[in-house]
């Protein structure tokens, strides 16, 4: 559409700034010369030429000679032979014997004068040529008559020769010719060019074709993922949710209010929907540790992990947000908390887990609960190790995961991009599930396909995909919950849906999870650890 509008506008502007030109047309009609020859008593020559050949001959005949020079000399006004030839066009009219002589000029009067003068000069030239022809023939006949004796002149042949001489004399005096002016050129009232409307329409059509070509080329060579359904097709996983593009998420962590995870209802509802989908797409699995990963940097996996953990913590669960990106950590800056001590300090044994974990107050108490909603955060650390991959793969990391798994209802792990570094691969087999975050309009298909092959080969417990950064205007069928929440009306909560699922024979979210040592006191108070909080 952009190409269509731009090319049409360019055609309109170019046509408007062009000088107006006017075209006038005079018509010539060619007659057969056989009649004149018969009148003159001459034997008419047969012709095998087709009508098309005759037309081509007539057009070429009009273009020959020095008619342009004579027209320029007759009209003056600074005209030259070259300008007259440039402004003149000669063409046949259909399959008739009519030839059109058209002249184009910036002045309507001048265009008519050029066409009429040229036609008149050509007719006059043809008449002079015919007169010379008949005069020559008359001289030849008179010479033959002079050579005859009186007896021969009185004979039938002599009388016929005298009649021929009389006819030739008449034709020579009449100045007849094989071409006449059928119609003189009138002064045009409207310009013949530029045709603004026609040029604008043609420009729009050309721009549309150009735009379609550009779109096809971009579609062919642009390997970016355009729709959430593309993520589903590439990874072969269900779409757990669509996170809309918004300033609140893009600027998260830049204010204390954002640090507490306060989002607009529309943005917050997207994460509650992801949480609910996780519970019911994996109803027979225990999901205590979730790894949030992405194919490339900038996909928003840290933001997704942070707000997903916050959504679970607001429902009254005890949640740990663990930053396992030991190369480029950003969580401390987003949440405006201390950058250390953190995970790296815990893994080397410098600081205990309780000393490195920081609490964030998310706000009001959960429904039916007491106290504030708290989220525990374990950042990467202030001093990053030189061997992050080895530390993630160490026994200390495995022991830490076992410990937090038994301590928290849910552990959300933020990792570095899987296609950039291999640090997070040892964690794939140590977590209950892996969420893949893809940014719409940025992720490349080939990179996502390569990551899917790697994860499948590694046997990672893939749960689903999350589409991030979809513009609100393109949400379409994915934006029902987003638009529904934006109106201020809340959809039924995930817990209400859980009750309905239990009534239909599904495993209830309130069912306690049996353990080898029996449920702890905290587990009894939170009997829904059977599934993801």
DSSP 417-461: -TTT-STTGGGTTTSSEEEEEEETTTSBHHHHHHHHHHHHHHT--
List, in sequence order, every residue forming a beta bridge with 91; answer none if it has no partner. Answer: 100
List, in sequence order, every residue forming a beta bridge with 92; answer none if it has no partner. Answer: 99
* Ordered per-residue pLDDT tens for the chain, 533 residues: 999 999 999 988 888 888 888 999 999 988 865 555 555 555 554 555 677 788 888 888 888 888 888 898 999 888 888 888 888 899 988 778 889 999 998 888 999 999 999 998 888 888 888 778 878 888 888 888 888 888 888 888 888 888 888 887 777 776 666 788 889 999 988 888 888 888 899 999 999 999 999 988 887 777 788 888 888 889 999 999 888 877 667 655 444 444 444 677 777 888 888 888 887 776 777 888 999 989 888 888 898 999 999 988 988 889 999 999 998 898 998 888 998 899 999 999 999 999 999 998 887 544 444 444 789 999 998 888 888 889 999 999 999 999 999 999 999 999 998 888 888 899 988 999 999 998 888 888 888 888 899 888 888 999 999 998 887 655 655 555 445 544 444 444 444 434 333 333 333 333 333 333 333 333 333 433 333 44
CA distances from 517 to 231, 398, 521 (A): 41, 21, 12
List, in sequence order, every residue forming a beta bridge with 359; answer none if it has no partner. Answer: 376
In the chain, what are the domain boundaries?
A: 19-43+50-193, 228-487
Cα distance between residue 24 and residue 373, in whole Å: 88
Pick the CATH number of 19-43+50-193 from 1.10.3470, 3.30.1890, 3.30.40, 2.20.70: 3.30.1890
Looking at domain 228-487, its CATH superfamily turns out to be: P-loop containing nucleotide triphosphate hydrolases (3.40.50.300)
| Residues in CB range of 381: below 8 A, 6 or more apart | 326, 329, 339, 340, 341, 342, 343, 344, 345, 356
Judged by DSSP in three states, 88 sits in strand
Classify burial at 357, counting beta carbons within 10 Å of its beta carbon; exposed 0-12, middle 13-18, buried 19 or more: buried
Laid out side by side, the sheet with 88-92 consists of 88-92, 98-105, 22-30, 179-183
- Of 227, 241, 231, the closest CA to residue 482 belongs to 241
State both tokens at 390. Answer: 């080895």
Note if the pTM is more than 0.85. no
Helix (H) or strand (E) holding 210: helix 196-221
**CATH fold match for the domains 19-43+50-193 and 228-487:** no
Please give, one letter per residue, the 3-state secondary structure of 353-376: HHHHCEEEEEECCCCCCCCCEEEE
Cα distance between residue 96 and residue 52, in whole Å: 9
The DSSP-derived string for 265-294 is HHHHHHHHHHHHHHHHHTTTS---EEEEEE
Cα distance between residue 506 and residue 531, in whole Å: 12
- Of 45, 19, 20, 41, the closest CA to residue 32 belongs to 45
The DSSP-derived string for 296-323 is STTS-HHHHHHHHHHHHHHTT--EEEEE
Q: Under a CB-based contact definition with an 8 Å cutoff, are residues 181 and 123 in contact?
A: yes
Which stretches does DSSP call E strand in 22-147?
22-30, 88-92, 98-105
| Residues in CB range of 40: below 8 A, 6 or more apart | 134, 137, 164, 167, 168, 171
Q: Under a CB-based contact definition with an 8 Å cutoff, are residues 242 and 270 in contact?
A: yes
The number of residues in the chain equals 533
- Of 484, 510, 508, the closest CA to residue 272 belongs to 484
Judged by DSSP in three states, 6 sits in helix
């Amino acid at each position: 559409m952009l190409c269509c509008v731009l090319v049409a506008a360019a055609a309109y502007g170019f046509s408007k700034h062009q000088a107006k030109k006017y075209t006038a047309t005079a018509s010539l009609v060619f007659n057969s010369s056989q009649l004149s020859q018969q009148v003159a008593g001459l034997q008419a020559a047969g012709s095998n030429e087709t009508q098309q050949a005759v037309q081509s001959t007539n057009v070429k005949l009009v273009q020959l000679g020095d008619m342009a020079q004579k027209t320029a000399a007759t009209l003056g006004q600074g005209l030259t032979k070259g300008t007259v030839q440039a402004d003149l066009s000669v063409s046949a009219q259909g399959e008739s014997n009519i030839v059109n002589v058209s002249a184009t000029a910036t002045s309507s009067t001048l265009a008519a004068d050029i066409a009429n003068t040229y036609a008149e000069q050509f007719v006059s030239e043809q008449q002079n040529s015919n007169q010379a022809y008949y005069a020559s023939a008359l001289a030849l006949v008179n010479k033959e008559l002079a050579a005859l004796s009186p007896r021969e002149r009185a004979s039938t042949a002599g009388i016929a020769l005298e009649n021929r001489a009389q006819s030739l004399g008449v034709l020579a005096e009449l100045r007849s010719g094989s071409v006449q002016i059928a119609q003189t050129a009138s002064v045009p009232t409207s310009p013949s060019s530029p045709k603004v409307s026609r040029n604008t329409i043609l420009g729009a059509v050309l721009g549309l074709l150009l735009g379609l070509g550009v779109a096809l080329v971009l579609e062919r060579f642009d390997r970016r993922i355009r729709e959430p359904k593309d993520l589903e097709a590439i990874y072969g996983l269900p779409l757990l949710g669509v996170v809309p593009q918004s300033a609140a998420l893009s600027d998260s962590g830049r204010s204390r209010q954002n640090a507490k995870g306060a989002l607009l209802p529309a943005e917050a509802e997207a994460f509650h929907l992801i949480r609910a989908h996780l519970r019911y797409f994996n109803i027979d699995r225990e999901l205590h540790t979730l790894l949030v990963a992405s194919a490339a940097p900038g996909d928003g996996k840290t933001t997704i992990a942070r707000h997903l953990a916050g959504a679970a913590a607001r429902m009254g669960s005890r949640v740990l947000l663990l930053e396992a990106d030991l190369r480029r950590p950003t969580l401390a800056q987003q949440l405006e908390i201390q950058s250390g001590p953190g995970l790296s300090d815990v893994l080397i044994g410098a600081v205990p887990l309780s000393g490195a974990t920081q609490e964030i107050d998310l706000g009001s108490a959960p429904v039916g609960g007491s106290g504030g909603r708290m989220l525990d955060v374990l950042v990467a650390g202030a001093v990053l190790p030189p061997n992050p991959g080895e530390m993630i793969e160490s026994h200390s990391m495995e022991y830490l995961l076992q410990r937090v798994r038994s301590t928290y209802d849910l552990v959300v792990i933020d990792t570095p991009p899987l296609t950039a570094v291999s640090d997070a691969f040892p964690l794939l087999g140590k977590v209950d599930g892996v969420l893949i975050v893809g940014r719409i309009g940025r992720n490349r298909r080939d990179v996502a396909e390569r990551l899917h092959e790697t994860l499948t080969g590694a046997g990672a417990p893939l749960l689903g995909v999350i589409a991030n950064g979809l513009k609100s205007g393109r949400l379409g069928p994915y934006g029902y919950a987003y638009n529904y929440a934006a109106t201020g009306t809340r959809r039924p909560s995930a817990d209400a849906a859980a009750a309905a699922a239990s009534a239909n024979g599904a495993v209830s979210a309130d069912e306690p999870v049996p353990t080898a040592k029996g449920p702890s006191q905290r587990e009894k108070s939170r009997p829904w650890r059977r599934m993801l909080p």
